[in-house]
Amino acid sequence: MPNPFKPSFGVSPPLLVGRDDLLDEFAEALEDGPGSAARATIYTGARGSGKTVMLNAVEDRAREQGWVVISETASPGFVDRIVRQHLPGLLRDFDPGAVRRRLTGITGPLGAGGATWSAVEAHLADAGLRNQAALLTDLLAENGAGLLITLDEIHRNQIGELRELATTVQHAFREERELAFVGAGLALAVSDVVNDEVLTFLRRAERHHLGSVGREDVARAIREPVEANGRQLADDVLAEMVEGTRGYPFLIQLVGARVWRRHPSAPEVSMDDARLGVTDALRRLGSLVHEPALADASDIDKSFLLAMARDDGPSKMADIQRRLDVDVNYASQYRLRLIAAELIEPVRRGYVDFALPYLREYLRSHAAAEM
């Protein structure tokens, strides 16, 4: 039996749980028309919280409503890819004659009557992002549809290109075009970008933090794919797996996959499979999640985290401050940095806890070594 679970970043799960409200909110914004708030949305969340697969899901929702989608990642050259590949490609799907006529209206004559598509394409690239987006949304609007642009891994490094895209999106909003924008990134990266003066529309965008998923939803995300693939799962076995995930989306898939593969052709998942599968999944979590999440942390960030790891539950700020032998301001500055980096989160007044599951255990077992 093929393994139904998908423990890979960016790969949509067999069942996406706990996000229906957000998806409905987005779909409604497309129906509601220009000016609807959720037509500019940003999802934030730690590594493995499901940002990329949320983008996949909103793209699917948009397509269901007949919209066309440009899906990009904020790596160098993304605006160029939109201008030279995505937009001309989408425009090509329309009546080329209509595109040619309108383009001539925007940018001036385009050679003699029978310009080839490659001439049109070159002209389109020169017309730029804003003109192409205007042209496409005009054509789409005639069919009651629009354009969704998604941008994954928003980061300050691409601030110049982000400004270019943001300016176009902002204009399109002002002109009440059928256009929507959904971005995703770590909260720290997003707040860096959102505070840029030029990117005002991003500041006004709806921001949603993708956190952990409730037990009921986790149970469904595991049970349904298992049963749909012909195997049974007793309640206590399922509970063991649910417990192991701690509601962390990536672990839903990793636990599911590692448990499944123990005996893929057995009619029932055993308690033994569940326990050993969870252990196996947790062993892999360090290199898949904790190590990369800590890659940008400074030495001081790490000492702060290690000071927290001495507690079995949430840490009191006063204790951390004492353990590090620093003053209140210093400690609270690092607290803010680590919250923004989605490594820790405030739990109640004066307390913080780890934001990634099993990070405490990881830090404890690596404290002496290379950290």
Ligand X SMILES: Nc1ncnc2c1ncn2[C@@H]1O[C@H](COP(=O)(O)OP(=O)(O)O)[C@@H](O)[C@H]1O
Note the residues at the interface with Mg ion (CB under 5 A).
Answer: 51-52
Stretch that binds ligand X, among 32-40, 64-72, 199-207, 246-254 (CB under 6 A): 246-254
Among 3, 23, 25, 47, binds ligand X (CB under 6 A): 47
Nearer to ligand X, 88 or 249 (CB): 249
Return the closest-CA partner of residue 235 out of 265, 280, 269: 269
Tell me if 253 contacts ligand X by CB under 6 A: yes
Nearer to ligand X, 146 or 185 (CB): 185
Instruction: Return the residue nearest ligand X (CB atom).
Output: 50
Phi, psi of 237 (to 5 degrees): -70, -45
Helix (H, G, I), strand (E, B) or coil at 82: helix
Instruction: Return the residue nearest Mg ion (CB atom).
Output: 52
Residue 182 contacts residue 42 (beta carbons within 8 Å) = yes
Nearer to Mg ion, 6 or 51 (CB): 51
Q: How many CA atoms lie within 13 A of 254 on its CB side?
A: 24
Tell me if 269 contacts ligand X by CB under 6 A: no
Cβ count within 10 A of residue 328: 10
**DSSP code string of 2-67:** ------STTPPPSS--S-HHHHHHHHHHHHH-TT-GGGEEEEE--TTSSHHHHHHHHHHHHHHTT-
Shortest Å, Cβ 7 to ligand X = 5
Tell me if 185 contacts ligand X by CB under 6 A: no
Return the closest-CA partner of residue 42 out of 199, 249, 171: 199
Place of tokens 């919280």: 49
Helix (H) / strand (E) element for 91: namely helix 87-92
Residue 352 contacts residue 308 (beta carbons within 8 Å) = yes
Among 29, 39, 44, 45, binds ligand X (CB under 6 A): 45
Tell me if 213 contacts ligand X by CB under 6 A: yes
Among 26, 78, 173, 250, binds ligand X (CB under 6 A): 250
Nearer to Mg ion, 52 or 132 (CB): 52
Give how many residues touch ligand X by CB under 6 A. Answer: 26
Among 44, 52, 168, 245, binds ligand X (CB under 6 A): 52
Shortest Å, Cβ 194 to ligand X = 18
Q: Which residues bind ligand X (CB under 6 A)?
A: 6-13, 16-19, 45, 47-53, 213, 221, 249-250, 252-253
